[in-house]
Amino acid sequence: MTAETKTELTTVYQVKGMTCGHCEGAVSGEISELAGVSSVTAVASTGQVTVVSAAPLDEEAVRAAVDEAGYELV
């Protein structure tokens, strides 16, 4: 019997322009659509967005998702 170990990667991004819960939801929603992302936590007060994914994400893809939400990846 073989047990598979699922490893996940946690990355913290800095996003400029988030000021409220709606902002957090917009950024989280766009990043959540990227392939391999299992969870996203955005915190407007710090500008930090924590992303848990199965593999490293392409920074340009994350930047595009943040831009689509109307904010800026720092």
Predicted local confidence at residue 7, as pLDDT: 83
Q: How far apart are CA 53 and CA 45, in angstroms?
A: 23
Report the sign of the C-alpha dihedral through residues 11, 73, 63, 28, in that order.
positive
CB atoms within 10 A of CB 32: 13
- CATH numbers and ranges of domains, the chain: 9-73 (3.30.70.100)
Q: What is the pLDDT of residues 31-40, one digit of tens each?
A: 999 999 999 9
For 68, the token pair is 């689509």
Q: What is the pLDDT of residues 17-67, one digit of tens each?
A: 999 999 999 999 999 999 999 999 999 999 999 999 999 999 999 999 999
What pTM was estimated for this model as a whole? Answer: 0.89
